[in-house]
Each structure stands twice: as C-alpha cells, then as structure tokens.
A and B are shown apart, each in its own frame.
Chain A
C-alpha cells in the first residue's frame, strides 16, 4: 500500500515531464495532435536567436551567481557551525536560511526596490541587467549552500583543524588548506544546486532583469503566454536534461565522498 502511494507520488512528478519530452519530438504543428517522430523543433530552436540569446544569458547568470553564492554560502556555513556560541547566533542561522522559505515574489520585489534605491543614491547598479540577476540569484543560492555546508561540517572531525593549528597554521591557512579540501565535495554539490536553482528561477529574475537580459525561463513563459508552440517542448526538454545532469553529478559526488569518509574513519 505504502509502495503504491509512493508510486502515485512519483507518477505525479514525472509523468508530465515524460509527456513533455515525448511531445518535443512531435512532428505536428499542433501541440495536442501527434504527427510522428521528428527533430524539427530542436532545429527550429537552434535557429531562434531570441531563445539562444536567452539561453546564453541564463548560463552566464547561473555560473556567476552559483560561484558568488557558493563563496559566500561556504563562509557563512563555516562560521555558523564553527564559531560556537556567539551572540545572536540563532538569529543569524535563521536569517541565513530565510531566503529558502521566503516567497519569491517578496524576495524579487524587495531586491528590485533595493536596486532602484541604490541606483538613485550611488548611481549603481545602472539599470537592470545580467548583473542584478546575478546578485539576486547569488543571495538565495548562498542560503542553500550555507545549509549544505553546515550539514557537512556537523559531522566533521574538528580535531584535524586543531591539529593544523597545533602544527603552526593560522586560521585562514587552516580553512584554505585543511577544511576546504576536506569539504570540497559538499562545496561542489552546493555549487551545482545553486546553478540549477538559478537556471530554474522565473519569478525573481522577472523582477530584477532589464532590457536585453531575459533569462530562458522568462522567454519560455512569454512564449507560452502567446500560445503554446511545440518548440517550447523542445526547450523544456533541454532544461530538464541540464537540471537532471546537475542533480545526478552533485549527488554522485556527495555519495562518493561519503563512502570515502566512512572507509577512512572505519
């Protein structure tokens, strides 16, 4: 019975995706009529400059924001798990993870207001662009990475950091030379998580993007609003592929690191 329920759950998740993937190979002009197998929508996509440009924007945004978010998130996760009881620690923990549960509309709107205010006060950032999307995505990417890193450090043998200190290393060197290499798998999977989240995001990006900086989800959404055309299915399939790849690689890296750690500790 439980297995059956689980199967229904999985079906709800993945049957729609499967349908989308199948229809992306539909030869017919009409979305709901099956006209045999074809790659024509993929070819059409390849010739659609607006889509290619948006894909390029999304890729840049995802790479940059994931990198920025991982850098900050790693440091935040480290500090939250290491510097034991400092004042307001609880507050900082909640604050670091709040963007995960914050409605995206709120996050997007507040960031937009911030950017506008900053532009009026300091003249930076000039308008909305890739830069503003990167900053916005980095903030929530950072929150996810901080959680991943904190979880990893919870099971971390602190004595190896103490050993490094005992052997004459300073805090920054300990972090760069000992802690970071040991938690590297968690950092990489955190990066992949932030990368896929950025690639997926529509709401926040819609608020903080400007002219010429539409991301792929934004283009897809606007296309769909004008009526579903079959090339959107092809586009969707490609996005699914990239996200799935990111998830699989990330999980794989974490699992392998976990296995190695277990072997090491016995």
Chain B
C-alpha cells in the first residue's frame, strides 16, 4: 500500500479492546496530525493506557484499525513499528550502563559502531546527560533516569513517540522544569508525541491538543484552551481544573449569550453557550471557574469558609438560594489577616462571557 501523504499521520478507526468481555476501549476514532503533541487525559480505568499500548503494539485491538501514514499497524510486532515508547517506570535495563541502554535499539537496527556511538552521543546531548554515559541506572536520580529513558526511546528516530505518564514519578518542582524541557525536545525532534497522563496541569502545559477519555471513549478532543474554557460537559469541566456547577433553566437568549434562571443565585444570569441555545425551559448546568468571579459588587452572598493559599485566597460563598460558590481572589497586596472572614456578607460578580452553559 502506498503511504498517503495527505491523510492524517495517525488514524485510529473504531478501535475496540475487550478484556474478558469488558470494553477497555469502546469504539474509539481519532486522527492525530504530524508533529502534534497530543495528550490523552483521563482517570485510571479510562482506557487511555490501553489505547497507548495498542499504538505501541503490546495489545491487539479486538476490532478496528490503527494506521500510521496510511499503513495498517494491527498485527505488526512492536519491534517492527516506527513507534517507540517511554515507559512510566522508565524500564531502563538495570544491568547496562546509560550508553548501552541508549544504543540497544540502534544495535537491533544493525547500525555500525561509529554511527551508533555518534547517535548515542547526540541523544545524550539532546537530553543533557553527556557526562553520564558510563553510569548504571541505579546510580542516577529519578530525573536523570527519566532523561535517559527519553533518549533511548528517541534514539531510533521513531515517527511516533509514546509517553506513558512521563513525569508522574518526579516531584513537583522537577516536574514543572521537566515539562518545559520535554516541549523543547519535542520542538527539536519534530516527532509526533502522544502522551498519556492523569494530570490535567501536565496535559494543559504540554499539549497542542488534548483528548479527554472516560469509560473507553473520547469525550472531547480540543486545544487545552478550549477544553478549559468550553468543556463539553460536567465531567470534563470538573476533571480539568476547579469549577462551580449550578443547576439552571434556559429562559431565553441574548445575542451569543443565553439567559438562565439559576435558583441558587436567586436571580437570572447570563452565560456563554456553544452553538444554538437550547429551547426555553431546558434544564442545563451553569459552570463558572473560581478565578472568573470577582468580589466587591454584584450579587449578595455570605462567606462560609476560606483558605489562604499564598497566591490566591479561596472563598466558599453561601448563596441566598442555597448551594455554595467557590471564588478565587488573587492576593495582589501582601495579605495580612483579611477583612473578609467567616460569615462576612460580600458581593460577587462575573462577566457573562466568563460563565458557560453545559448541556449535560
């Protein structure tokens, strides 16, 4: 079959994977373009790892097809795919030093010694581990092992690199630094990356596009910005970041906005709406992120609780119609003991464009 250059780089069509009759991946279709950094985001048991393992070839789809550049991958051994994987545990060979680990895949290609040595050096430079060629895995820190694992996975020059929770084993500070390095390496190699993660922050920082998975299906595929600002449903809004979800009923429309009756707020509010607004009387959900709400004017409420977090203070407001509303207030001045405390009556407001109506 001639590889089609105009089709998507990676084409997943109607893939199903069953384990003992249980569907881990349920009729999933997805196109990923060349040089994308695609993040599969989902909780445990969402099927994201199973999908990744099918791309690597460790699992065979029960049905459906996986094509890379128009070539069907189903039935092709992992050893023969233009795909490499970086494992969550890094899976470095404990009895080999760093250079031999990185060279392992090159040896299997039958690459000559001179060329191989040059490639190993190049890869170690890419991940800034030049001085570690002779180290054994147990002589390195977690962050260093992670880099070696990345170098080893990139050494064969795969068309597609799979990363299984690449940063989950690192502590927070290191994780944040490594995120940027990973993006840098992605830019330099021009390889397509597919990253599996349960960490929404990681997905938001890294990805050009995110696919949110739940129960073996893709619930939404979009840019990080759109996933955050226009989540398709409550599940996504709740999974990605913090959000206030309030029951509401559609009462009309106002240009691009929709008018909602929100009993918890005790009055009519306006919110953004994707596509055509639903019919009047439809039960929907109003979603507002805590950072999109300001204190000082607008609707009345009472402070139920608050938590000082350094950069922001999170207030939990009790609404007149019952229900709670979380509000983040940036601490622009060095905060002393605040003027707002338990049971303080406050006013809050939000721009209608900052709130979004969810259909389910």
Residues on A facing B (Cβ under 8 Å)? 157, 159-160, 162-170, 173, 178, 181-182, 260-261, 263-264, 266
Q: When the two chains form their complex, are residues A167 and B87 in contact, meaning their CB atoms are under 8 A apart? A: no
Q: When the two chains form their complex, are residues B79 and A168 in contact, meaning their CB atoms are under 8 A apart? A: yes
State the CA gap A73–B83 with chains docked (Å): 35
State which residues 54-80 of B face A: CB under 8 Å.
Answer: 56-58, 77-80
Q: When the two chains form their complex, are residues B92 and A160 in contact, meaning their CB atoms are under 8 A apart? A: yes
Q: Which residues of B contact A178 (CB under 8 A)?
A: 93
Q: Which residues of B contact A260 (CB under 8 A)?
A: 138
The reply on B104 being an interface residue by CB < 8 A is yes
Known interface pairs A260-B138, A264-B137. Does A165 touch B95 (Cβ–Cβ under 8 Å)?
A: no
Contact with A along B129-173 (1 / 0, CB 8 A): 000000001100010000000001100100000000000000000
State the CA gap A266–B137 with chains docked (Å): 11
State the CA gap A260–B88 with chains docked (Å): 21
The reply on B94 being an interface residue by CB < 8 A is yes
Q: When the two chains form their complex, are residues A170 and B79 in contact, meaning their CB atoms are under 8 A apart? A: yes
CB distance from B155 to the nearest CB of A (A): 8
Q: When the two chains form their complex, are residues A163 and B95 in contact, meaning their CB atoms are under 8 A apart? A: no
Q: When the two chains form their complex, are residues B95 and A263 in contact, meaning their CB atoms are under 8 A apart? A: no
Q: When the two chains form their complex, are residues A163 and B108 in contact, meaning their CB atoms are under 8 A apart? A: no
Q: Which residues of B contact A266 (CB under 8 A)?
A: 142
Q: When the two chains form their complex, are residues B89 and A157 in contact, meaning their CB atoms are under 8 A apart? A: yes
With most chain A CB atoms within 10 A of its CB, the pick from B57, B91, B142 is: B91
Q: Which residues of A contact B152 (CB under 8 A)?
A: 163, 167
State the CA gap A163–B142 with chains docked (Å): 18
Q: Which of A162, A168, A264 contacts B108 (CB 8 A)?
A: A168
Q: When the two chains form their complex, are residues B104 and A160 in contact, meaning their CB atoms are under 8 A apart? A: no
State the CA gap A155–B156 with chains docked (Å): 30
The reply on B84 being an interface residue by CB < 8 A is yes
Q: When the two chains form their complex, are residues B87 and A162 in contact, meaning their CB atoms are under 8 A apart? A: yes
Interchain Cβ contacts under 8 Å between A and B, 23 examples: A159-B88, A160-B92, A160-B93, A162-B56, A162-B58, A162-B78, A162-B87, A163-B93, A165-B58, A165-B77, A165-B78, A166-B57, A166-B78, A166-B79, A166-B85, A166-B153, A167-B79, A167-B104, A168-B79, A168-B105, A168-B109, A169-B108, A264-B94
Q: When the two chains form their complex, are residues A264 and B104 in contact, meaning their CB atoms are under 8 A apart? A: no
Q: When the two chains form their complex, are residues A160 and B85 in contact, meaning their CB atoms are under 8 A apart? A: no
Residues on B facing A (Cβ under 8 Å)? 56-58, 77-80, 83-85, 87-89, 91-95, 104-105, 108-109, 137-138, 142, 152-153, 156
CB distance from A155 to the nearest CB of B (A): 13
Q: Which residues of A contact B78 (CB under 8 A)?
A: 162, 165-166
Q: Which residues of B contact A169 (CB under 8 A)?
A: 79, 104, 108
Q: Which residues of A contact B80 (CB under 8 A)?
A: 168
Known interface pairs A163-B85, A166-B84, A168-B108. Does A181 touch B95 (Cβ–Cβ under 8 Å)?
A: yes
Q: Which of B89, B92, B109, B138 contacts A263 (CB 8 A)?
A: B138
CB distance from B260 to the nearest CB of A (A): 49
The residue on A at minimum CB distance from B137 is A264
Q: Which residues of A contact B88 (CB under 8 A)?
A: 159
Q: Which residues of B contact A181 (CB under 8 A)?
A: 95
Given contacts A167-B152, A167-B156, 13 further A-B contacts (CB under 8 A): A159-B87, A162-B56, A162-B85, A162-B87, A163-B85, A163-B91, A164-B93, A165-B77, A166-B83, A166-B153, A168-B79, A169-B79, A170-B79
Known interface pairs A159-B87, A169-B79. Does A164 touch B58 (Cβ–Cβ under 8 Å)?
A: no
Q: Which residues of A contact B104 (CB under 8 A)?
A: 164, 167, 169
CB distance from B83 to the nearest CB of A (A): 8
State the CA gap A167–B57 with chains docked (Å): 12
State the CA gap A260–B137 with chains docked (Å): 11
State the CA gap A164–B89 with chains docked (Å): 14
Known interface pairs A162-B87, A263-B138. Does A167 touch B105 (Cβ–Cβ under 8 Å)?
A: yes
Q: When the two chains form their complex, are residues A167 and B138 in contact, meaning their CB atoms are under 8 A apart? A: no
Q: When the two chains form their complex, are residues B79 and A182 in contact, meaning their CB atoms are under 8 A apart? A: no
Q: When the two chains form their complex, are residues B91 and A160 in contact, meaning their CB atoms are under 8 A apart? A: yes
Q: Which residues of A contact B79 (CB under 8 A)?
A: 165-170
Known interface pairs A162-B78, A167-B156, A169-B79. Does A182 touch B94 (Cβ–Cβ under 8 Å)?
A: yes
